[in-house]
Amino acid sequence: MEFFSQYVIPPTRGQLELLRYLLVLTYAIHLPFVGMVIGATLLSLAFNARDRDIANPTFARMSKDLMDMVLPNRVVVLVFGVLPLPALWMIYGQWLSKSTVSMFTLLPIGALVVALSFVPLMAYRSSLDPAGRNSQVNFGLGGIGLATLLLGMYILIGAVVRFQDPERWHLAHDGFRWLLSFNVIWKFGHLLLSGLAITGCGILFFFFNWSGREPIRDAKYAQFMKNFGASVLLATVILIPVIGFFYLITTPTIALSGAVYVLAAATLVILFLVFLLAYGAILSPRPRFGARAFILVLAVFLLTGVGDQLTLVNATQEHSAALLTEADEIKAQIELEREAHRAASQVVDVARGEEVFKTVCMTCHRMDERLVGPPLKTVLPKYAGNVDGLISFIQKPEKVNPEYPPMPAPGLPLADIKSVAAYLLGEVDDAGTSTESPQH
Ligand code: HEC
């Protein structure tokens, strides 16, 4: 937090709004991906273990196919898994800047652990043998990767979920207690289940609907895969509302509002539709509904993201108000300084006027001689007592004397024009007195 307070000026109202959209967007990219990595690795490890008990080519193949599905290459991992992490850190840093919460140490730690977990996970993926000779070693790699990812996500989710409990922000200095709350635990469970759900429909979608993939030739394997994916989806879709309910009742009341319940109800409707699709996929002999189920589960992730930012908005209202006041104050301060600067620039400075006269006007004017323009002594007297008239002439010269060409506008700042006008009128006054005095 201190880190951010140092560099970040409090966001204005518009920026705060933008941050919220960014947050939902980041969630919509990151969480489904991480959820799917968790779900697929979990299932892959389970198949892997079964395969080592009783060598089974179906299980070995499934174990590998799942990992190939979620971690196809480094770019995907980078874009969906790693890049959103610093973005999250920045967004929360801005939003909660100047708050007393110091859990900003937790957020980067969680993000770092999550990012690092992809190293053993990628190693696990490439260690899997399609021929089905899985060993202790690759099982270990997968286990380490999954454990690291879970730990990182728990820290990340813990840090973020606890933002919505400002009454306990003081606990932030005690990282461990900060992370240990039912609210966090349910949220974490919710992510695990959603992760399994999107893995389930990911199997239906990526293996059967994805155009970039070769169709599976082995009919028995395809049948097994379809039923497995649909069953995982079916089971998790039933459990998600249960865990969601526990999450909601442990959420601090300050974070809740009517809109949060509306979102929860909408999520429930979508989950019911997914349930029907998953059921249909099991009944149907052919793989179907994968794409539709996948999109709906993504929508669940999106709605959850919107809900998360709503609860955070509710919980941090007071804090945001303080931030906005501060932003307003800073803005007013800047405005004041600008005003002062402007006022200072309007000051008439005769010395500056003389300088401007010598550098600009003297290309065409002398006091007593005709040059390009008329000798000023002959034209200035009509402006005596009428500085404004002179100023407006210099600003925007008009055609006066047919004996002369028109004077081009010198394009000077107003302050300079005022100064040169003051200087010139002073000059005529002096000249006037000096020429008049001998007569008296
Ligand atoms: C490029 C040449 C040029 C420059 C530079 C120039 N003037 Fe002139 N100025 C003229 C000409 C030509 C006229 C005559 C215009 C006319 O009578 O229509 C003139 C006319 C004037 C007049 C007489 C206006 C009137 O009401 O008869 C004043 C006063 C004057 N200039 C002031 C200035 C001042 C002050 C500057 C410097 C900021 C300046 N001029 C710079 C060419 C110039």
Is 378 touching ligand 1 by the criterion CB < 6 Å?
no
What pLDDT was estimated at residue 40?
92
Which of 382, 393, 407, 423 for a ligand 1 pocket mutation test, highest count of atoms within 8 Å of Cβ?
407
The pTM is what? 0.64
Which of 355, 358, 362, 365 for a ligand 1 pocket mutation test, highest count of atoms within 8 Å of Cβ?
365
What pLDDT was estimated at residue 24?
83
Segment among 57-66, 72-81, 359-368 with least mean pLDDT: 57-66
CB atoms near residue 104 (< 10 Å) = 21
Cα of first residue to Cα of last residue in the chain, in angstroms, is 80
> What is the tens place of the pLDDT at every residue in 85-120?
888 878 877 777 665 555 567 888 888 999 999 999
Is 410 touching ligand 1 by the criterion CB < 6 Å?
yes
Residue 261 has pLDDT above 80, yes or no: yes
Closest CA to 227 of 192, 279, 276: 279
What pLDDT was estimated at residue 430?
60
What pLDDT was estimated at residue 357?
92
Q: What is the mean pLDDT of residues 184-194?
A: 91
Is 372 touching ligand 1 by the criterion CB < 6 Å?
yes
Is 373 touching ligand 1 by the criterion CB < 6 Å?
yes
Is 62 touching ligand 1 by the criterion CB < 6 Å?
no
> SS3 for the chain, per residue?
CHHHHHHCCCCCHHHHHHHHHHHHHHHHHHHHHHHHHHHHHHHHHHHHHHHHHCCCHHHHHHHHHHHHHHCCCHHHHHHHHHCHHHHHHHHHHHHCCCCCCCHHHHHHHHHHHHHHHHHHHHHHHHHCCCCCCCCHHHHHHHHHHHHHHHHHHHHHHHHHHHCCCHHHHHHHHCHHHHHCCHHHHHHHHHHHHHHHHHHHHHHHHHHHHCCCCCCCCCHHHHHHHHHHHHHHHHHHHHHHHHHHHHHHHHCCHHHCCHHHHHHHHHHHHHHHHHHHHHHHHHHCCCCCCHHHHHHHHHHHHHHHHHHHHHHHHHHCHHHHHHHHHHHHHHHHHHHHHHHHHHHHHCCCCHHHHHHHHHHCHHHCCCCCCCCCCCCHHHHHHHHCCCHHHHHHHHHCCCCCCCCCCCCCCCCCCHHHHHHHHHHHHHHHHHHHHHHHHHHC
Is 379 touching ligand 1 by the criterion CB < 6 Å?
yes
What pLDDT was estimated at residue 317?
74
Cα angle value 228/81/100 (rounded, 5°): 120
Atom of ligand 1 nearest to the CA of 380: 29
Q: 365: CA distance to ligand 1 center in Å? A: 7
What number does CATH give the domain 2-319? 1.20.1630
- Report domain extents, the chain: 2-319, 350-439
> What is the tens place of the pLDDT at every residue in 363-412?
999 999 998 999 998 999 888 888 889 999 999 999 999 999 999 998 88
> What is the tens place of the pLDDT at every residue in 202-250?
888 888 776 666 667 777 888 888 888 889 999 999 999 999 898 888 8
Q: 399: CA distance to ligand 1 center in Å? A: 10
> What is the tens place of the pLDDT at every residue in 41-50?
999 988 888 7
Task: Write down the CATH superfamily of domain 350-439.
Answer: Cytochrome c-like domain (1.10.760.10)
Q: 407: CA distance to ligand 1 center in Å? A: 5
What pLDDT was estimated at residue 438?
39
Is 399 touching ligand 1 by the criterion CB < 6 Å?
yes
What pLDDT was estimated at residue 151?
94
Is 146 touching ligand 1 by the criterion CB < 6 Å?
no
Residue 272 has pLDDT above 90, yes or no: yes
